[in-house]
Chain A
């Protein structure tokens, strides 16, 4: 089919009028004028066409299948052991639990799903579509990153039951030690295998990036220091709490950042999120992805609202929209398939009545996920 006369925001900073031809779930062609008399045409005159937003670190598919006011099934939260790198979040994802949220109605087409911040190594992350039933069919890419955390949440989860960690000393010592052991690990015949170290070894070898959640700038500095000896290891810092315009070391070391927020102002750690400082770092070249709340109380509006908050500071859509689309795709290693409007990419598109990074009057006219319409204006928003 052809989507004609829309204005394309490509997710990489460019805005231009163009027609799009979709074929087999992908964007087949982008051109000023496409005429194909035999194909279905959707007239998008006056509409702004954005890539689907991508939430980098989310709990979608894990939320929403439990009892009243317990929004989570907790299937990404294996609290039997603080070191569980051998686990895979793919097995926690419930397709219907994601679908029922109708994320397409909020501009999301793709989500990174992650283990919680409660374990030092939580397990591997995966990228999913937002609409479907079979979780494996919805999986755009498994094993896109190893989720780790040095947050206070570890102490809260274990220390209180008199199990390590009770302190940050243990957390950083073990982060360091597990990486060292993994780097020395070899599979040897007749020796029992260590599935944990095998999983971490993939990170040390640079097969997948290490996403580490931190509470403060000092946490982030310790993490960067500990991973430094491992040249192939690709670090992505998560949360951004406590980082400021003075945290130029992130830019110098080329370490990307996933920004999370807290819906709770009672949370002093999250209140230290300095979006102005992070915007200043982004201006100096820091790669920033805007994600959302770091708990199961995440909202469907998280990515858009963080984008709006960033627009208040940067006033420049060509810098902010990539933080919601192409940069998350890159950090999640799915930039070859989605995150921008380019020929060959998945047709993950949202047609807005106006630019949502400009006015609240912007409504979604239609959301395409892999070329399939998953939300159309007027569709009833479901209820649980």
Chain B
């Protein structure tokens, strides 16, 4: 009887063991297989290099260099602690801090802990020598961004930083993870997906102490693709050298194609400091500065166009048949409109169209503007692409603003008065334009009516960028009207009394228009927008100085830049 009970009991125990085995191996088997792989398989990451950013001639604007990260293996803890003071001395940090880093970064005994990033080559070599006595140090070379020219073209290039929450939510689907470096602003942001390197790595099997057993697989890291810009490095250098210390921006563009040849915004910043731990104070000042250092003023800020807008007014009136070359207005230095008195900056006397452009006579354009009417001016300006983004391939371009009678009625419940027209006619009032918009507008005058889409990316990797949005529109203006305005623009420089006569002495014919924008507080903004050579324009230049004084200052800066170009034999 008791034997039978025993017999059954033994059988039961074995059946239960079998069931438990079934549970462990068949039901939970997958999960345990994963765990066993996690135990024995390690991925040694090898990062590729981020794509470089090069200029139109292939010269590197932003490249990469090797940086060295120091990692310590905590499994040799006793020995690591002994060597901490030595390592700390080489790294020039406090041993206690090093120990804290080792402790806080601890994951498991065979995972190396990064204790210092981005050390220089000398320190890396010194640590490499320590390795002979002590195997627990790993020096991991990492390609990091290098900026051979410091802050050159920093606004076009942008900078790299750890991904923020907002970007992560947008980019998570593209394989971005927390702690990834992504581009902020400029090319780095716009083409981050192409520039981004692909992590490769060595899949290895290790034993219980993390010692290497064999290689299971290797995926070579992929370097990011290089981005070639249309910028001309030499030209960019000249532009930035002259812009240094001023606040404003300069854009140079090929009017035929829309290629941006130079684009600088000032004040500039060093894109490299965002990844330097020691420079966090500097970064804070950059971010909180009232000068909006990170802002690319060429595309991201809008200002009143000032007198530069007069070319639009002139063209609108010419197109409407309200004036022609023989139209003459007298400038006594002011203009009375009803009760209001509108001033001119000088007393010009009798002015025809060409002279009025050359002298930037306000009175002439008050009258011309009133003749043409606000609506015609608005339409003409709209055709030149004002109040719309130019679709340049840089992030964070803004629209600007172009007022119209309808807008005023809808948004302010006010009628449009002649005074508004007069203000608009000299580019003041509610009008806001970005420098890139004015550059494009001037380009259309340079090419006699072709409105291009400016662009700055020449090629990604080795393939040229083809963007269907990047098209040129021929503006429906009469060629002779355009030619009249062009003549006026030329006279701005060629006439001894022209507002940009300082540009007359250059070995090529420059045409353009200055502008001085009265602002509520501080000295006025200064514009010069022009093109050269006059007959076969190859360059459009737009110089803008925030609180720069007057159009004269912008003209002088233009002169310095063009002289620099002559000096470098770029023309």
A and B bound? Answer: no
B residues whose Cβ falls under 8 Å from a Cβ of A: none
A residues whose Cβ falls under 8 Å from a Cβ of B: none
